[in-house]
């Protein structure tokens, strides 16, 4: 068996992230694990610098990310084509995708060294942009693809299509097409439902729609969602954003198609996923600071054990 390798990447705009990345890289190196870093991010004794390209994660065991969810979404661009799991330490705000907080870095490294983690597949979406039948762009997202207005003072007018059939037309600020993983991100802010990660579904959530029928919708993972910009509309231009990172300017009449992605993103977890969804429930409570004081749970079961 060859030497284990971990790609360590960090949010270069945060000094605490760079310090943490050096700490992690030094600990992994001391444990006999080869460390890669992305060129221009940070240096660590014994680490091997690689270009920030699609090949950066090839052959690695893990991609370990120091930063917030934005840093994890960036790292997914390296990990996804290489089918290498991501694991993150949150140094941002909510950090919903991360597995550890700053005070848990030493434990995170120990668990990685011991291979004490499990790997989940997270559904992605593939996104195609067409204009008059001609393909303009193809991209993907882990969280969401958003068609939104380009100018703050205007609206865009769209027709929504599900599985090849028109559903509704409305004007508004845009539309979010999301995965279950993205249900706690932009789609959540736009009023969409929280969907547990093991549920396979696609979400479509309007943003400030002016319409009688414009609810958030949850559809089959086999469905194809489409958003068409009205050609004759006197509204402003529109843009497509995927995970807030990849941008496509949309001409009038453009059509955006969203379907289940061909390649998932792999996430490493320090605890096996709870079959009843308890792990995700605890994550919601912790990340959003939800009030659960007074919960008693199945106390009769505990009483029976001690009878």
Nearest residue to 243 (alpha-carbon basis) of 161, 202, 174, 187: 187
107 is catalytic: no
**First-last CA distance in the chain:** 52
| Three-class SS of 207-237 | ECCECCCCCCEEECCCCCEEEEECCCCCCCC
What values do phi and psi take at 222, rounded to 5?
A: -90, -5
Count of C-beta atoms within a 10 Å radius of residue 275: 8
User: Backbone dihedral region of 154: left (phi > 0), alpha (psi from -120 to 50 degrees) or beta?
Assistant: beta
Write the DSSP assignment of 274-287 as a string of letters: PTTSHHHHHHHHHH
What values do phi and psi take at 250, rounded to 5?
A: -105, 125
Dig out the tokens for 256 from the structure. 């955006």
Cβ atoms of 8 and 28 within 8 Å: the answer is yes
| Given 26, 69, 103, 302, the catalytic residue | 69
Cβ atoms of 170 and 157 within 8 Å: the answer is yes
Dig out the tokens for 188 from the structure. 């959540």
Nearest residue to 172 (alpha-carbon basis) of 159, 184, 185: 159
Active site residues per annotation = 69
């Amino acid at each position: 068996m060859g030497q284990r390798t971990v790609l360590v990447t960090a949010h270069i705009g945060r000094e605490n992230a760079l310090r943490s990345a050096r700490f992690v890289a030094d600990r992994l190196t001391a444990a006999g694990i080869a460390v890669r870093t992305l060129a221009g991010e940070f240096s660590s004794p014994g680490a091997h610098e690689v270009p920030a390209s699609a090949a950066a994660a090839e052959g690695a065991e893990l991609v370990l990310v120091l930063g917030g969810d934005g840093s994890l979404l960036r790292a997914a661009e390296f990990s996804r084509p290489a089918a290498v799991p991501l694991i993150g330490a949150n140094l941002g705000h909510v950090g919903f995708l991360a597995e550890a907080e700053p005070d848990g870095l030493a434990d995170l490294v120990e668990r990685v060294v011991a291979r004490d983690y499990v790997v989940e597949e997270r559904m992605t979406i593939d996104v195609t942009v067409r204009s008059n039948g001609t393909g303009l762009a193809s991209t993907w997202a882990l969280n969401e693809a958003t068609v939104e207005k380009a100018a703050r003072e205007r609206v865009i007018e769209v027709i929504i299509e599900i599985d090849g059939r028109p559903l509704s037309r409305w004007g508004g600020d845009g539309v979010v097409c999301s995965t279950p993983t993205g249900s706690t991100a932009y789609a959540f802010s736009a009023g969409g439902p929280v969907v547990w990660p093991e549920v396979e579904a696609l979400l479509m959530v309007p943003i400030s729609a002016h319409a009688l029928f414009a609810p958030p919708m949850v559809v089959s993972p086999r469905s194809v969602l489409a958003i068409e910009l009205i050609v004759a509309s006197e509204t402003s231009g529109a843009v497509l954003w995927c995970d807030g990172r990849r941008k496509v300017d949309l001409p009038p009449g453009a059509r955006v198609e969203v379907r289940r992605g061909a390649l998932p993103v792999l996430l490493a977890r320090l605890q096996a996923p709870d079959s009843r969804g308890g792990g995700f429930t605890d994550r919601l409570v912790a990340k959003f600071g939800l009030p659960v004081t007074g919960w008693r749970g199945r106390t009769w079961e505990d009483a029976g054990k001690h009878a």
